[in-house]
Structure 1
């Protein structure tokens, strides 16, 4: 069995229009399951933070769809790197938001404990804004 290179993209974007976050999450979970992508979607006060990880081609295609989505504005890649193993492998696509419960916050803290400093810092800033 050949090891497939894994890619992880971490991006931030703004959303100016009202959105149906549950609809976005449902569609993301479906698409990502088909494409072998795991990650985390965090939404707080019109700001998205998302980590996508999986096969390099799948992540590139998913990010291209997101970048073309008119609901995202001022999209910025914060980190784009190869990873040896999934850092969010147990998360098909978790939803986090400003009203996240303590259990989600604790799971997020555990997942982020070994993440690169830029990813930890971005999520810490978003959580501090709650």
Structure 2
């Protein structure tokens, strides 16, 4: 299994309904192919964590990179894992703008399996200014 975390910049502003559709569609598709994870959107930037079979992650990330709704995809974590820390989330949108609230939600879901360094990745992501 593989865990991939990437960031990207939205090419346009996203309304709440747009984000809901992305997450709903992703949750359905991901559940069918054994993927899990979450999505953060803040200041016209995305951070997404994906977990699952390495071949499925590779295929999906290829699709993600070619999606014209965002650009500047940057992998910030890519590692082999023994099992998913977020298996109950086929795709979950984390909405709070508070670092502590987001990290608490992640810790509640992942328990002792919170990926090492994920807290600093999220804190850094949420502290970035709006993308231009």
Which range, TM-score by smaller chain? 0.7 to 0.9
- 1:38 touches 1:88 (CA, 8 Å); kept in 2? yes
SS in 1 for 2:50: strand
Q: Equivalent of 2:46, from 48, 55, 65?
A: 48
Give ranges in structure 1 of 5+ residues lacking alignment: 1-5
CA deviation after TM superposition for structure 1 residue 91, in Å: 1.4
Aligned to 1:116: 116
Q: CA deviation at 1:115?
A: 1.1
**1:3 maps to which residue?**
none
TM-score scaled to structure 1, two decimals? 0.81
- Structure 2 segments unaligned to the other structure (5+ residues): none
Secondary structure of the structure 2 residue equivalent to 1:65? helix
Q: Deviation digits for residues 1-48 of structure 1, max 9, x if unmatched?
A: xxxxx0111100010313311111111111101111001111111111
CA RMSD of aligned residues (A): 2.4
Q: CA deviation at 1:105?
A: 5.2
Structure 1 stretches of 4+ with a deviation exceeding 4 A read 102-105
How far, CA to CA, are the matches of 1:108 and 1:26 in structure 2? Answer: 19
Q: Choose from 5, 10, 18 the match for 2:5.
A: 10
Alpha-carbon distance in 2 for matches of 1:83, 1:75:
22
